[in-house]
Chains A and B, each alone.
Chain A
Amino acid sequence: MKNLVNFKINGISVVAQKGETILSVARKNEIYIPTMCYISKTSPCASCRMCVVEASGMDGFVLSCNTPPVEGVEITTDSAALNHERVNIMKLYDVNHPLECGVCDKSGDCDLQNKTLEFGLSAQSFSAKDQLRPIKHWGLIDYEPSLCIMCEKCVHVCNEVIGDDAIEVKFGGYSSTIIPKNSEMLDCTFCGECIAVCPVGALTSSGFRYRANAWELEKIPSTCAHCSAGCPLEYETRHASINENEKIYRVKNNFEFSSLCGAGRFGFDFDTSAKKEASSFELAIKAIESAKAIRFSSIITNEEAHILELLKDKLGLKLFNEDARKFAEFMRAYSSVSGKLHHSGSLDAIKKSDAVIVIGSRIATDNPGVRYALTTASKHSGAKIVYAHPLEDILMQNVITQMMKYEVGTEEGVMALLTHSILIGADLDESERAIIDELDLGYLCAETNIGEEEFSLMIKSFSRATKKTLIIGNDLIAHARSQNIAKFAALIEKYSDFCVVVVPREVNTLGVSLINSLDADENISGVVGYGANGDFKISSLADANLVVPAFNQQEGTVVSIDNRVLPINVALGFDGYTLNDIAKAFGIDRENTIDYTKLLNKKSGFKEIEFDNLENFLSPFGEDNRGYILDEVECLMDGELDELDDMPEFNGTIIYHADPVLQFNSYTNITTQLPKDSYLRGSEQFSVAARIADGDLVEIKTDSSTIRRVFKLDGELKGTVALSPTYDLNSDFSGYRFEKSKIARVINE
């Protein structure tokens, strides 16, 4: 009880946890203190000074947003003097603020307008010389300095939560503005979080600006469809033009507690449309009747996955989904050692961690949700973050404390070495201890190219940490030795205080891996593709033989990286057929797709809850009330570690299949606003090795594919690994993402 502080606000006795401020305690107890610049997920900006309160035994006012209470203090939040102070602050905010609320992009959804009315300001009593402040166009973001009130929320969010650190305040009294940091143009990942937090219409989305008003848009709460972070968002819809149908105008998020990357915020128009055409439906039925297998992507809901499983049972089909199958196998091996079906960590756990290892993922682009959690951990808990990967990532530079650069293909060795150094004095059982002790450390260090001193440095920097997290990326899941790697990860989880987060590749890889029994993909004919390639394609993309609704046009659930079952809702209508209609034709008869929500696989931890009973909101204090968390399932611990395999060698020009910022899959590729960078990006060293120059059209031949791309020299990269996107290829890239390649310049015919 030592950590609790008892004090009074307005005569009401309240209790503060250690580290809480007066403002957060007041909010928890529903006592109102006005603020302009406060945002819960960052450290206090303390720029507005609206949150001033009186404290007993103190002269003058105290800022409640960054002052922790002391035992027994009596706080007053409202008095004539405080009101006078706040009214004066509002008067200063309103000086020369353009009176264009009627056309402002904020359209009344404005903190400044609310507070001006709240404090009853009807006239400007101060004067200041106005100055020329031209609008800045920063790509997807527009900045209008004359509307800016310098609350600094955008700067704090960009720096402390996102990690781009791309904007800063240019101080200059009345002429202060927000400017791009160290650059003329804004150079960032365009997450748009600054737009979300802006309390006035200063930072706006250029694609939305002046196209609709906040009060005429209908809000549909849902979950982002692009990666497995499962970020909450709201689609905002309205009729498109004078005589047209509904369309999505923008995406908003509860920026007070959650964050959203640019793909979620700007990549919303991937919907499709279709009418019920009996002929193509019959063709689809026939194709499935005669099919040997259904190949599907993980960008589907749990309910669809369940229906596919029912179709498999009914028709004796095979189900192909390499991405989810590899994830399932990884998790099976993991569970066989850890004894638990699900990984133990979550994004929230990462945010609160003070020591993190990220291995085998270019995490900033693979899963921005994890990146933001890491940034939060780094900025708010001073977390030590070890980033183990063959490639440096400039986006993670501000956050990571130790780069552990290993050789391509040696992930198993790295995991073995990590396990060895983390579990050095742990109470392993004999067979496990034998494997760990018998590791040929010299060979492994040589092959992985990580020195023993790097591990001891890591252990040393983690020595004071209490909350540790291991984040495992796709390079480990798709690795040829993934099962043994999983067992090493499980050992760390079991015998140390690390919790483990395995990052699923697609939005519902995790859900599919828990629902479907998948078969190894054979290259056979007679495959129906459901959102994937096949002889007959059922999908919501352009080349489909039968069009089904896209992710923002259907109801259902997905499982996020947090093992949370999240609802998605219908933002836009769809008139065509759905997978459930196909199932009905085969006698699997439920009226709606969401009737399957309560029937999802209980053995994997799903609960028997109707879709309509799933909540989808964050509480006013930031508690996540979306959907439910999967029940923990105990597993048989029969897994045994294998001896390590020889480390494979990757020489020459290597391709790493990694998407650029804001791109994930075929759906992000068809959105209008997201940038579509399709270059092969490589370092100077790579260009020498491959004998190509900046701007060359090159043909990249790997074991799995042959593609053509334009080469771009990227000064931020090093080594002989080049980045090649996959989002625009419309084919399966769930294999190991590093590939040896032959690169040849294409001579223009």
Chain B
Amino acid sequence: MHNEHNEHLKNRNVSELDVNYYMVDIKDYPTDSWGKFKRVVQRSFRGELFVGLWVVLREMIRFDIHTVKYPEEKMPIGPRYRAVHEMKRLWESDTERCIGCGLCEKICISNCIRIDTKIDENSRKEVSEYSINLGRCIFCGYCAEVCPELAITHGGEYENASDQREHFIMYQDMLTPLDTMKAGAQREFEGFGAITPHEDERVKKTPLAY
């Protein structure tokens, strides 16, 4: 079964295998200059030009326009689209998910992530500075993939044009706003590295039999 399948792929002569393939009827290209001249005239005055113009005119009169009126209108972005990063918060406590492990900084191939960490007053690790230089970022998605806490993800925000490079590194802009969090409106990233369905069933729990 498996071999048969492979054989099928290796045979590139499609006409032998599949009767649905057929040859397209294309006339030979003209070679002399008279023939070429005739082809130009035929193509120019066939009327196909006016078909297109008619379609535009018809739709204009009907006011049934399909063009997205950017920036007033925007196309919905797929959940796995990799645009500007988002820093997520924990559902349970609304605190930032980032634990400052530094893996995103290490894996970043364009070297655009830098973080500073220190010990906080509760003796926990605190991220004191987090910066992504979006001017350098190539949106490869490695940082989101390596993040053990699903803290850094990609979002749908692709409008990051600015006349100042410094505008490309605002941490606060990436962090889920608290009101969004309170409203339960934080969206999870569904791309690579995200939690797969049925993850709950696969988790092994620490025994608590005391």
Pairing of A with B: yes
- Interface size (A, Cβ < 8 Å)? 28
Jot down 7 A-B pairs with beta carbons below 8 A, ordered by A.
Answer: A135-B123, A137-B123, A210-B117, A210-B119, A213-B101, A213-B102, A241-B114
Q: Mark A185-215, 1 if CB is under 8 A from B, else 0.
A: 0000000000000000000001001111101
Q: Mark A120-143, 1 if CB is under 8 A from B, else 0.
A: 001111111100000101000010
Which segment, of B37-45, B76-84, B181-189, B201-209, faces chain A? Answer: B201-209
Complex Cα–Cα for A128 and B102 (A) = 32
| B204 in contact with A127 (CB, 8 Å) | no
15 extra interface residue pairs, beta carbon distance < 8 Å, beyond A127-B208, A241-B129, A242-B116: A102-B148, A103-B100, A103-B101, A123-B204, A126-B207, A127-B207, A128-B210, A137-B123, A210-B125, A210-B126, A212-B117, A213-B102, A215-B106, A216-B102, A243-B114
Complex Cα–Cα for A103 and B206 (A) = 20
Complex Cα–Cα for A212 and B128 (A) = 12
B145 proximal to A (CB < 8 A): no
* In the complex, the 9 A-B pairs of residues with the closest C-beta atoms, listed nearest first: A127-B207, A102-B101, A210-B125, A103-B125, A242-B114, A129-B210, A135-B123, A210-B119, A103-B99
Complex Cα–Cα for A369 and B92 (A) = 52
| B100 in contact with A209 (CB, 8 Å) | no
Number of A-B contacts (CB under 8 A): 59
Chain A residues with CB below 8 A from B116, complex form: 241-242
Complex Cα–Cα for A142 and B207 (A) = 30
Chain A residues with CB below 8 A from B149, complex form: 102
Complex Cα–Cα for A124 and B203 (A) = 12
Interface hub of A122, A127, A210 (most chain B Cβ within 10 A): A210
Chain B residues with CB below 8 A from A206, complex form: 119
Chain B residues with CB below 8 A from A135, complex form: 123
| A210 in contact with B210 (CB, 8 Å) | no
**Shortest distance from the beta carbon of A266 to any chain B beta carbon, whole Å:** 16
Chain A residues with CB below 8 A from B119, complex form: 206, 209-211
Name A's interface SS: loop
Interface hub of B117, B119, B131, B208 (most chain A Cβ within 10 A): B119
**Shortest distance from the beta carbon of A344 to any chain B beta carbon, whole Å:** 48
Complex Cα–Cα for A215 and B105 (A) = 12
Given A103-B125, A241-B129, verify A124-B99 contact (CB < 8 Å): no
> Would you list which residues of chain A between 90 and 148 have a CB under 8 Å from chain B?
96, 102-103, 107, 122-129, 135, 137, 142, 144
Contact-residue size bin, chain B (C-beta under 8 Å from the other chain): 20 to 34
Q: Mark B85-111, 1 if CB is under 8 A from A, else 0.
A: 000000000000001111101100000
Chain A residues with CB below 8 A from B105, complex form: 216
| B208 in contact with A211 (CB, 8 Å) | no
Complex Cα–Cα for A209 and B204 (A) = 31
Q: Mark B157-186, 1 if CB is under 8 A from A, else 0.
A: 000000000000000000000000000000
| A242 in contact with B129 (CB, 8 Å) | yes
B136 proximal to A (CB < 8 A): no
B36 proximal to A (CB < 8 A): no
Chain A residues with CB below 8 A from B58, complex form: none
Chain B residues with CB below 8 A from A210, complex form: 100, 117-119, 125-126
| A127 in contact with B206 (CB, 8 Å) | yes
**Shortest distance from the beta carbon of A209 to any chain B beta carbon, whole Å:** 5
Complex Cα–Cα for A127 and B101 (A) = 28
Q: From A215, which residue of chain B is reached at the shortest CB distance?
A: B106
Complex Cα–Cα for A126 and B210 (A) = 10
**Shortest distance from the beta carbon of A687 to any chain B beta carbon, whole Å:** 40
Given A210-B117, A213-B101, verify A127-B123 contact (CB < 8 Å): no
Q: From A122, which residue of chain B is reached at the shortest CB distance?
A: B204
**Shortest distance from the beta carbon of A249 to any chain B beta carbon, whole Å:** 12
Chain B residues with CB below 8 A from A122, complex form: 204
Q: Mark B119-136, 1 if CB is under 8 A from A, else 0.
A: 100011110010100000
| B148 in contact with A216 (CB, 8 Å) | no
Chain A residues with CB below 8 A from B103, complex form: 102
Complex Cα–Cα for A308 and B119 (A) = 46
Q: From A239, which residue of chain B is reached at the shortest CB distance?
A: B114
Given A209-B119, A216-B102, A216-B106, verify A124-B207 contact (CB < 8 Å): yes
Chain B residues with CB below 8 A from A216, complex form: 102, 105-106
Given A127-B207, A135-B123, verify A242-B131 contact (CB < 8 Å): yes
Chain A residues with CB below 8 A from B114, complex form: 239, 241-243
| B129 in contact with A127 (CB, 8 Å) | no
| A211 in contact with B118 (CB, 8 Å) | yes
Complex Cα–Cα for A239 and B114 (A) = 10
Chain A residues with CB below 8 A from B204, complex form: 122-123
Complex Cα–Cα for A210 and B127 (A) = 9
Complex Cα–Cα for A239 and B126 (A) = 18
**Shortest distance from the beta carbon of B47 to any chain A beta carbon, whole Å:** 65
Q: From B100, which residue of chain A is reached at the shortest CB distance?
A: A103
Query: B106, B125, B126, B210: which contacts A127 (Cβ < 8 A)?
Result: B210
Chain A residues with CB below 8 A from B99, complex form: 102-103
Interface hub of B118, B129, B207 (most chain A Cβ within 10 A): B207
Q: From A123, which residue of chain B is reached at the shortest CB distance?
A: B204
Q: From A129, which residue of chain B is reached at the shortest CB distance?
A: B210
Q: From A213, which residue of chain B is reached at the shortest CB distance?
A: B102
Q: From B206, which residue of chain A is reached at the shortest CB distance?
A: A124
| B209 in contact with A127 (CB, 8 Å) | yes
**Shortest distance from the beta carbon of B174 to any chain A beta carbon, whole Å:** 15
Q: From B105, which residue of chain A is reached at the shortest CB distance?
A: A216
Complex Cα–Cα for A142 and B122 (A) = 13
Chain B residues with CB below 8 A from A215, complex form: 106
**Shortest distance from the beta carbon of A615 to any chain B beta carbon, whole Å:** 30
Interface hub of A127, A137, A242 (most chain B Cβ within 10 A): A242
Chain B residues with CB below 8 A from A239, complex form: 114
Q: From B116, which residue of chain A is reached at the shortest CB distance?
A: A241
Chain B residues with CB below 8 A from A102, complex form: 99, 101, 103, 148-149
Chain B residues with CB below 8 A from A123, complex form: 204
Chain A residues with CB below 8 A from B208, complex form: 127
Complex Cα–Cα for A684 and B122 (A) = 42
